[in-house]
Amino acid sequence: GESVGLHLPTLSVQEGDNSIINCAYSNSASDYFIWYKQESGKGPQFIIDIRSNMDKRQGQRVTVLLNKTVKHLSLQIAATQPGDSAVYFCAEIPRGYGQNFVFGPGTRLSVLP
């Protein structure tokens, strides 16, 4: 079936720098995307979502960008903090697939002091 993938399985950034985590999706019919954060030993936590009729959405210190032309999704974290260290997943829902979220394999973000 369709899959969502992530560039770079690991990412290391200096504390205070901005982080960019990328995601490529293959189903052009997907109309809803979410980013989740998973800390060690915990369940995933919602960060931010975006629908296909938008290109950009901002939250607190996070921005999600959607480029439908190249089927690319990115999560930008401003002023990265030690508490941002986690695995980040993107997920999509293909249109008409009810609640069948498709998750990417994840990117591990490490924040260096």
Binding site for other proteins (CB under 8 A): 1, 31-32, 34, 36, 41-46, 49, 89, 91, 93, 98-106
Q: Given the DSSP bridges, would you call strands 56-58 and 30-38 parallel, antiparallel or unpaired? A: unpaired
Q: Which one, 29 or 113, has the nearer CB to other proteins?
A: 29
Handedness of CA 101, 102, 105, 107 (dihedral sign): negative
Closest CB 67 distance from other proteins, rounded Å: 20
Contact 101, 3 (CB under 8 A): no
User: Closest CB to other proteins among 1 and 113?
Assistant: 1
Instruction: Please report how close the Cβ of residue 98 comes to other proteins at its closest, in angstroms.
Output: 6
Q: Are 28 and 71 within 8 A, CB to CB?
A: yes
Residue with smaller CB distance to other proteins, 12 or 45: 45
To other proteins, the closest distance from the beta carbon of 14 in angstroms equals 27
For other proteins, which is the closer residue by CB, 2 or 78? Answer: 2
Question: Cβ of residue 76: shortest distance to other proteins, in angstroms?
Answer: 20
User: Would you tell me how many other CB atoms lie within 10 Å of the CB of residue 65?
Assistant: 17
Q: What values do phi and psi take at 84, rounded to 5?
A: -85, -10
